[in-house]
Every structure is written in C-alpha cells, then in structure tokens.
Structure 1
Amino acid sequence: MLAVACRARDLPVRDRHARQFVAPLHLATQVRPVLEAPRIARLVRLLRSARQITQARLAELLEVNPRVYNRWERGLATPQFDTVVRIADILQVTLDELAGRAPVPAEPRIHNQELLNLYQQVDSLPDAEQQALILVIDSFVRKTQVQKVLNRRR
C-alpha cells in the first residue's frame, strides 16, 4: 500500500492545512510505503503463529517462494499490496488489523464451535481434499442463496 508523501511548501496555500491527506501525484517529491516492513513483519509473524501456520505453508497458500515470504517476515522486504490483501484473507484479519490500525479480535470469526473445530482439522488436510470440501460447502451456500431469492419472489 503506497501513499504519496510531500512537503507542505509543495502544496497550494489552501491545502497546506491538510498535510495528512495524500497529495496529488504531480506534487509528489517522494514515494514511501505506508506499511513499514518491520511493522507488517511483526504482525504477520504473530498472526501466523497464533493460527499455527508454518512459513512454508503460508508461502504455498500465497503461491510465492518460501525464501521471498521469509524476507517479508524478517522485515527485509515488503510484499505488494495485492499480496498483503491475500495475507489478510488467509489470516482472517482486516487490512486495518494487519496494518496495526485496529486491534485483532481475540474471539474466532467462526462462532459455531463445532464448525470451528472442523475448520481447524480441515486446514491440515492436503490441498486436493481441501478443494473438494470447498466445492461441497460452496454448493450448499449457493443452494441456500437461491432458495432465499426464490422465497422472496413468492
């Protein structure tokens, strides 16, 4: 995630009071990442560990080389924004939570305890079996959505 940083004197007079806002690109003197590598590295490492996911597994889910992922987690590099979004999805957090702007909730996002237990077991299955389960669950969800639409029309 990138934001444009600029000096206040580069802004038109009427905009100098709004320094916290992103400046127009043509006024930019420097581009800097909003997500600093050490900050996101620390949060990703904590979240990954809390979810009992290995670095190798997360790299596999992100479809990146494990060495590249390791550099992100050590704070030596910062992933692209689309990759940060995928990391947040995999770790089941919002971008604000991943960036440290909002607290990560302590309670699980899956409120049904039986479903949560199954989810944790499914996460350790091979990818092919996980894909099969995704298809089954997706079909049930779509069936329910179609039934809701049909019931509204009646």
Structure 2
Amino acid sequence: MTTFSTQLKKFRQERHLSQDELAKDLFISRQAISKWENAEATPDLEHTVKLAEILQVSLDELILAKEPEVKIEWVIEKDRPMNIWEFFCQLLVGCFSSWRSFGVVFVTAALHFWLNWL
C-alpha cells in the first residue's frame, strides 16, 4: 500500500467519514474512494487538494505522511485586562443572546458615546 492510500484511509476514519460520505463531498463515486485507498488508482490534483481541505490536513500530511512543522492553536490570555474591542465584542454577544432589543439600543448608544468621546 502506498503512503497516500494509507494516509487517506487513516484520516478518513479519524474524521468518522464513510467512503460514501467522502465521495458525496467530492462529487464522485464511492468506488473511486475505494480504489484510492487500495492503491489501485490515484486522484487528480483537484481532488487531492479538496481531500486535504475536507480532511483538514496539509497536502504534505496527506501525500507524504509528514507531520506539520507548525501547529496553529488559539491562545486565550486571561491574565491581562480586556481592551475596548474585546469588551464591546463580549457585550454584543451577551446582549444579543438574552436581551436582543435592549442590547442593540445599549450598544448603539455606547458606540455613539465612545466615538464622540474620541
């Protein structure tokens, strides 16, 4: 089995996707996915790029089984004070989730006051 076919099957199973589901996302037949996983055929470049997007992996991981050099992770800093934009974003989220009409009026008034204050 080639590296690509092994990686394709591994990533598909990790994402809990069936061959049918993956085939529907790519607008191809389930048999094509089966052939790729059994190293009987290989996808064209367009399908390979789309596979990487669907499986959320890089082309290097999918084709060459290389681990990514850099992993991007979200880091939320809680040890520093909130800036004005973070405050308004949280205010918007909080207001829209429970007090929709009041939130719109309050946020609009707060933004108007803040912009005039500058």
How far is 1:68 from its partner? 1.3
Give the structure, 1 or 2, with the largest relative contact order (CA under 8 Å, sep 6 or more): 2
Q: Which has the larger share of helix? A: 2
Equivalent pair of 2:3/2:65 in contact (CA under 8 Å): no
- Could you list the structure 1 runs, at least 4 aligned residues long, displaced by more than 6 angstroms after superposition: none
How far is 1:56 from its partner? 0.7
The residue aligned with 1:73 is 37
Larger Rg: 2
The residue aligned with 1:93 is 57
TM-score (ref. length: structure 2): 0.55
Q: Give ranges in structure 1 of 5+ residues lacking alignment.
A: 1-36, 113-154
The residue aligned with 1:39 is 3
> Structure 1 48/110 Cα, relative in aligned 2: closer, same or farther at 3 Å?
farther
Partner SS for 1:86: helix
The residue aligned with 1:22 is none
CA offsets per residue over residues 66-89 of structure 1, 9 Å max, x none?
A: 111111111100000110000000
> Structure 1 60/39 Cα, relative in aligned 2: closer, same or farther at 3 Å?
same
Separation of aligned partners in 2, 1:53 and 1:110: 24
CA offsets per residue over residues 15-66 of structure 1, 9 Å max, x none?
A: xxxxxxxxxxxxxxxxxxxxxx722110000001111111110011010011
Q: Which has the larger share of strand? A: 1
Q: Does 1:56 align with 2:23?
A: no
Separation of aligned partners in 2, 1:46 and 1:87: 13
Q: Give ranges in structure 2 of 5+ residues lacking alignment.
A: 76-118
Give the total of aligned pairs: 74
State, as a whole percentage, how many aligned pairs show the same letter.
Answer: 28
Q: What pairs with 1:4-153 in structure 2 (closer than 5 Å)?
A: 38-100=2-64, 102-103=66-67, 111=74
> Structure 1 65/45 Cα, relative in aligned 2: closer, same or farther at 3 Å?
same
Q: Which amino acid aligns with 2:15?
A: R
TM-score (ref. length: structure 1): 0.43
CA-atom RMSD, angstroms?
2.4
Separation of aligned partners in 2, 1:87 and 1:68: 13
Separation of aligned partners in 2, 1:104 and 1:57: 26
Q: Which amino acid aligns with 2:23?
A: A
